[in-house]
Chains A and B, each alone.
Chain A
Amino acid sequence: MTLSKEELEKRVSVLERKALREKKARQLAENQLEKYSLDIYEANQSLKAALAGSEQKQLELEYLAHTSSAVASEIPLREMVSNIVDLTGEFCCARYGLFVISEEGQWLTEKTPKVWISEQGWQENNAIKEFVTDLLPVSNNDLLASWRSAEIKNNELNESAPLNSIFYTNVAWSGKKIGWLAFLSQEAELNQDLEVILNTSKEHLVSGVRRRLTDIRILQRNVQLQDSISSLEKARRQLIQSEKMASLGQLAAGVAHEINNPIAFIRSNLEVLQDYLHDYKKLTSEVQTNLTEQTTLDTSQFSEMCKKIDLDYIEEDSEDLLKSNIEGLDRVKEIVDNLKGFSHAGDEALVATSLNNCIQSALKIAGNMFKYEHKVINNISAECPPVLGNSGQLQQVFVNLFVNAAHAMEKGGVLTIDYTHIKEGVVLHIQDTGCGMDKETVNQLFTPFFTTKPVGIGTGLGLSVSYAILEAHGAQVSVDSQLNLGTTFHIKFPTID
């Protein structure tokens, strides 16, 4: 197929235009490629910058995390601050770092004047220490809100590379003391970004130091509280003991009477025995004389002599008198033993204790409070299960209750002591038929210094001390009382597991 010249020319011009478009398109594409390259280059650059930035951020975060965990840790305060100096020195690429304490504008001398040195750790270096402390504004006693930095000249330090700046801050220490952190660096000044980070870690440090100082104060308070608690405990024991002695005082007259009675009859018995001895001596002397004068003694004569002094009766009565004396002395001994046991302070250990024995001992001590017009019915037997207790203290409680019961039954009455064995323990019932109490009195029964007795009788502490003792035994007390009918104390002791 042949084309006319016109057609050919047209064809050529179409192709020329196409070629021109292709050329321009190639140029556009190349420009676009260059633009892409540039974009990629720029993206690369900004990525590199971002990477460097994030690496720096990571370092900063690591530094903050380490300082925070040092601050939050339980290591001793000085060790914690040393850690902070260590971390800060490394983070800021400082050459030297140190921590010093001042008080009222004066440096306190340290036991170990150590300085942190880059790549060497803590070393003694007085020259650096003096150099730095001379630069710090110790005299103006102000706490700095942030880090400060200053240019320095240090020709005298003979450093291989010059130190160009110092940066420092301080924190409140205990009392009026101020703790200073300072660093020497080759950098001309503290970089602003770095300063922000350092200020953040400083805030951590300030709060950490404050917390630790508070902890120390709390610890001291605790020790004081412990002391107070132990002196209170001592006072409590003394109170129990003195209350016991006071109740003993109230019982003294009765106890004296109780002791005096046997002593009186023992004495009178001894007087009679003395007479009998006299008669007996007379008899032996007569027998002696008779034997000397007549060299013999017949039975009728001896019987006569014996009859004269009524020897048969003397022998019989002497035996009775001696028996009675021994019994009397046994009674006195028993009373004295009980009193000794009662007044003895003893320890407070709780052991398996027989309520039966405690009640019986208490009754012997307080028994003389109950006169002829009183009747005491004690239904406690050896079968009553033992409880965990302190017999001396429980006796004190029972004596106190019995004395109160006796006081409540001035004109006579019945004291009944009984118990119920229940699943969770033993309940003692101490019942009197005395004057009873109104509700108000019952409510205040265990209040210290509350008493219905006249001045001079009772301390008002008896029941409150008894209550405290029973509480320490894990026992629960309840009271039923009706005016003019009487009062019953129910004391529930837990069983021994």
Chain B
Amino acid sequence: MKGIVFVKFNEFVEELWGEEFWDTLLDEAQLSSEGIYTTVGTYDDEELFTLIGLVVEQKNISPKDAQFAFGKWVFKELLNAAPAGAHNFKDVFEFLHAVQDFIHVEVKKLNPDALLPEFEFLSETPNTLTFLYQSPRNLCYFCEGIVHGLAEHTGQTVEVSQTECQHQGDSRCVMEVVKV
């Protein structure tokens, strides 16, 4: 996974619970990277899962809430790092459509080996958009949080739910975004 996610997770945890807590997490996690993250590096996915697991355990929150909260928080951070064109979108649906055709294309230019989730749009009405979330990392809750972060950015209110979810025993994850 790209280093920016780890760096931002570090910032997110420190912002919420302080540097000491992060220090404790690293101490407990015993990661091969020793928690030395840079945005230009690439790190083992498992390190993130371990860190999230420890947060969940120590703060007594559900993994879903942890992923969701990080997703919602990290959107604006990622947007700041994104190319200028990504700032022009004024609508959640418009942005979601552009993710693959525009943002992921830009990401690939800088990180040709980046493993990115794929969206397959299933249906769309003026207020409801459903799409298939496909990623070997299965971070669908993180994705839900990101969509909320996006809505905050565009100034819209949305409800995000999953009509099907692999964590619930389904064969795939289908996101439903409804503008409220």
A binding-site residues for B, Cβ under 8 Å: 10-11, 14-15, 17-18, 21, 24-26, 28-29, 32-33, 36
Contacts and interface: CB of A to CB of B under 8 A. Distances in A.
B71 interface: no
B35 A21 contact: yes
Contact of A17 (B23, B40, B41): B23
B101 interface: no
B94 interface: no
A373 B75 CA distance: 127
B73 interface: no
B40 A33 contact: yes
B37 interface: yes
B20 interface: yes
B101 to A, nearest CB: 27
A71 to B, nearest CB: 46
Given A14-B20, A17-B26, A25-B36, 14 more contacts: A10-B20, A11-B20, A14-B23, A18-B19, A18-B22, A21-B36, A25-B37, A25-B38, A28-B36, A28-B41, A29-B40, A29-B41, A32-B38, A32-B40
29 contacts: A10-B20, A11-B20, A14-B19, A14-B23, A17-B23, A17-B26, A18-B19, A18-B22, A18-B23, A21-B26, A21-B34, A21-B35, A24-B36, A25-B36, A25-B37, A25-B38, A26-B38, A28-B36, A28-B38, A28-B41, A29-B38, A29-B39, A29-B40, A29-B41, A32-B38, A32-B40, A32-B41, A33-B40, A36-B40
A24 B35 CA distance: 10
Nearest to A21: B36
A279 to B, nearest CB: 137
Q: Give 3 nearest A-B pairs by CB, closest first.
A: A29-B38, A24-B36, A14-B23
Residue among A11, A14, A26, A33 having the largest count of chain B Cβ atoms under 10 Å: A14
Contacts of A24: 34, 36
Nearest to A15: B19
A56 B104 CA distance: 37
How big is the B interface, by class?
10 to 19
Nearest to B7: A25
A496 B40 CA distance: 95
Interface in B2-26: 19-20, 22-23, 26
Contacts of B40: 29, 32-33, 36
Contacts of A17: 23, 26
Contacts of B39: 29
A interface SS class = helix
Interface in B37-76: 37-41
Contacts of B20: 10-11, 14
Contacts, number: 33
Contacts of B38: 25-26, 28-29, 32
Interface string B76-114: 000000000000000000000000000000000000000
Nearest to B22: A18
Contacts of B37: 25
Contacts of A29: 38-41
Contacts of A32: 38, 40-41
A253 B95 CA distance: 116
A330 B55 CA distance: 143
Contacts of B19: 14-15, 18
Contacts of A15: 19
A59 B71 CA distance: 56
Contacts of A21: 26, 34-36
A374 B26 CA distance: 138
B109 to A, nearest CB: 14
Nearest to B18: A14
Contacts of A33: 40
Nearest to A22: B36
A151 B124 CA distance: 77
A483 B25 CA distance: 126
Contacts of B23: 14, 17-18
Nearest to A10: B20
B56 to A, nearest CB: 22
B17 to A, nearest CB: 12
Interface string B121-154: 0000000000000000000000000000000000
Nearest to B39: A29
A36 B41 CA distance: 11
Contacts of A26: 38
A439 to B, nearest CB: 84
B126 to A, nearest CB: 45
A125 to B, nearest CB: 59
A17 B36 CA distance: 10
Nearest to B34: A21
Contacts of A10: 20
Contacts of B34: 21, 24
A10 to B, nearest CB: 7
Contacts of A28: 36, 38, 41
A239 to B, nearest CB: 86
B9 to A, nearest CB: 14
A14 B23 CA distance: 6
Contacts of A36: 40
Nearest to B20: A14
B49 to A, nearest CB: 20
